[in-house]
Structure 1
C-alpha cells in the first residue's frame, strides 16, 4: 500500500498519544511526540517499547528510532498531519490548535483525538476548518483496529480521504461519522450498556463479576463477529420489536449519572488507577491485567482482521 504521508506529529504523550505514536512508527512513518510536562516523554517511550513487544517484537529498535520527542509545540511545524491527544478539556484543545494553526503550514491536516467533545467547537479555534477532523482512537490506541473519523461542518472530502487513507495504511479500520454529535457512535452505545450494567449492580440484581461475565461470554463474544443491527436482522426484527415493546419501559433511562457512580467518584474509588472501583486493584494486578489484555486484544484483533479479509 502506498504511503499516504511520510511524517506526523502527536501532541500529548499520555496513554493515547503514546499508542498513536507507536502505531505509526511501527508502520515506517517518522513521528515527533510532543509534550511539555516534565517526565512525560521518557515515560511515554518506556510505554511504547513495552507495547511494541506485543505486536512488533522484531522491529522495536527501528520503530523507536523513528520517534523523536520534544517539549515544544514548534516541533510540529513540518508535519503533514498533527494528531492531538491531550486530556479531554475543550479549552486546552482549542488553545493547542490555535497555536498549531500559526505554527504549521497551510497544507497540514489537523486531527483531534476525543471521546466525544464537539469537533465543531474544537475546530473553531483554527482558520483551516476544512482540514480538520476528529479521530477517536480506542485504548490501547495501537491495538484496537477501529477509529471513528468525525467531520466538522466544514471538513472537506479530501481531508476525510487523506486521513482515512493514513489510518488504513497504519492497519486501522476507520469509519466516517458524518455528523458531529456528542459521544459519536461507540461511546453512545458503550454508555448505554454501562448505564444498564451499573443500574443492575445498584439494584442488587447480580455482582459486578457476574454482570461482566454475562457481557463477556454472551454479548461480547457475539459482538466481535456481528454488530447489533446485523444481529437484529439475523434474529428477526419482528422478534426485536416484540421484546422492545415490553422491555424498553423497564430499562434504565435516567438523565444523570447514577448515585452509585457519583458516590464512587466522590470517595476516590475511581478504578484501577486508584486501587479501588467496582473491583479491588493492586498495582501488580493492574500492570498484569493491562499487559495480558493488550496481548490478548492484539491476538484477537489480528484474527478478526484475517476473518474479515
Structure 2
C-alpha cells in the first residue's frame, strides 16, 4: 500500500489520516503543534501504520519515497502556498501533491511550485473519513497522469471521485450550496418562510431525494419538458444578489455565528447539540443506502 503523508493535524487532517489508515495505507500526520498532534493521535487511536511527527524532516528516510502528500492546513492562501512550496522542494517529482482547500483556485496554489504538473486539489467533505465524495480539481499545468494517480488512490480507498475539467472558484459543491443558500436567505428576508420551515422543506422534500438520485436524475424522473416549462417562468424571479444578504450581515454583526457561538439561525442548547450528534451518527446509514442503489446496478 502506498504511503500517504497528511500535513495539518486539525479536524480535517485527523479525519484524512483515519480514512487512509482504514484500508491499510501507512500514514504520517505532520503538524508542528504538539497539542494538535496529541489530540489527533488520541482521536485516531493505536492504529498500525500510523506515525505522527512535528515535521517532514523528522520522519526519516523511509518516507522520502512517499507517493502522496495532502496539505490540510488552515484556509489561508499565503500559508497554503508556503507549505506547498516547501513540499514541492522537499519531495521529488514522483510524489503527487494535493491541497484539501475548500475553494481557493488551483492556479493560485500552484503558481510557484516546482513540478506543478504533479499538483492537484483533492477537496474532501467534512467528516472526511465518512462522506464519500471528493472533488478532484486540476491546476492549468496538472498532468493527466497526476489526476489518474489521485483518482486511483481515492477510489481504491473507498471514495467517490468527481473529476472536474476546470479550475473555477468554489469548484462544484460550494457553487451549488451557495446558490441554494442565496435563495434560502432571499425567501427568509422576504418573509415567505422562517429558518425552521425552510429546513423542513429541504430535508423532507429535496434532501431525501437528492441523497439517492441527484438533481439531474430528478429532472429525468420528473420530465425535462416539465422542468423547462417551470424554469421559463421561475428563473427570472429567483434571487440574483451579487453580495451576501443583510440577513447574514446582521447575524455577523451580532456575533451570531451558529454552533460555534451558541446561536445562529437556531439556539445551540443541549437539545440542539444532541440532535446534531444524532444526525452525524446517521450519516453512514444514509451513505450506505445510496451506495446500495449503485451496487445493485453494477
How far is the alpha carbon of 1:280 from its aligned partner? 1.1
Q: Considering Cα pairs closer than 8 Å and 6+ residues apart, tell me whether 1 or 2 has the greater RCO.
A: 1
Mapping of residues 19-98 of structure 1, within 5 Å: 19-49=15-45, 61=46, 64-74=47-57, 75=59, 77-98=64-85
Partner SS for 1:97:
helix
Kept in 2: contact 1:11–1:83 (CA 8 A): yes
Q: Distance in 2 between matches of 1:104 and 1:13?
A: 20
Deviations 1:92-134 (A, max 9, x none): 1100011111111221100101111101110113111111111
Ranges in structure 2 where 5+ consecutive residues have no aligned partner: none
Matched, 1:127 2:110: no
Structure 1 stretches of 4+ with a deviation exceeding 6 A read: none
Q: Distance in 2 between matches of 1:19 and 1:290?
A: 18
Of the three residues 166, 170, 182, the one matched with 2:169 is 182
Kept in 2: contact 1:275–1:283 (CA 8 A): no
Give TM-score scaled by structure 2 length: 0.92
How many correspondences in the alignment? 291
Ranges in structure 1 where 5+ consecutive residues have no aligned partner: 50-60
Task: Sort the Cα spacing of 1:276 and 1:77 in 2 relative to 1 into closer, same or farther, 3 A.
Answer: farther
1:306 counterpart residue number: 292
Partner SS for 1:116:
coil
Mean Cα displacement is larger for which, 248-257 or 276-285?
A: 276-285
RMSD: 1.7
Deviations 1:170-208 (A, max 9, x none): 110001001001111111111101111122222222221
How far is the alpha carbon of 1:73 from its aligned partner? 3.7
How far is the alpha carbon of 1:210 from its aligned partner? 1.1
1:241 counterpart residue number: 228
Task: Sort the Cα spacing of 1:174 and 1:13 in 2 relative to 1 into closer, same or farther, 3 A.
Answer: same
How far is the alpha carbon of 1:271 from its aligned partner? 1.2
Matched, 1:194 2:181: yes
Partner SS for 2:187:
helix
